[in-house]
Amino acid sequence: MSDTGRKPLTDQLSESITPDSQKSGLDKAKESVTDTADSVAGAVQPGDSKSTSQKLSDQTGSSADTVTDKLGAVGQNVQETASNLTKQGQETASNLSQQAQSNTGAAGQQGQTYLEQAQNLAADALKAASNTAANLANTISGEKK
């Protein structure tokens, strides 16, 4: 049972278990409007005037929104970090390659040429950046569980 002016709990449950693929555009729009109206009503209704079931429903919805927001922020942070590490690795590889090419003539035949050394260093830098990004993603994935 829901409180007066609030979206019925049976409607909330029914909407949450029905896949979006089985809902019409009108159904989705109606849900969005009624969900927003219910959220506003829940925010302005004093806690002591809510029924126990309505309190639980509001707390569950609030917790789910908080978790979703945090996971979205973590995912964005992982993407940005991985992108930055990849970009830094590419820039380092490019700089080393350019430096090696300019010094290749002086390198001679001392085992590896400067170009080969730079290419190996660049590959190592990219590998380290990739491993760091993967470790960060694994760490965050562990936090989600």
pTM for the complete prediction? Answer: 0.33
CB-based contacts of 12-15 (< 8 A; 24+ apart in sequence): 12/38, 12/57
pLDDT in tens, the chain (145 residues): 566 667 777 777 777 788 888 888 888 888 887 777 777 766 666 667 667 776 677 667 665 566 566 667 777 777 888 888 888 888 888 888 777 777 665 555 555 677 788 888 888 888 888 888 888 888 887 765 4
CA distances from 104 to 43, 71, 125 (A): 69, 48, 21
44 CB-side CA count, 13 A: 8
Q: Where are the domains of the chain?
A: 1-57, 74-145
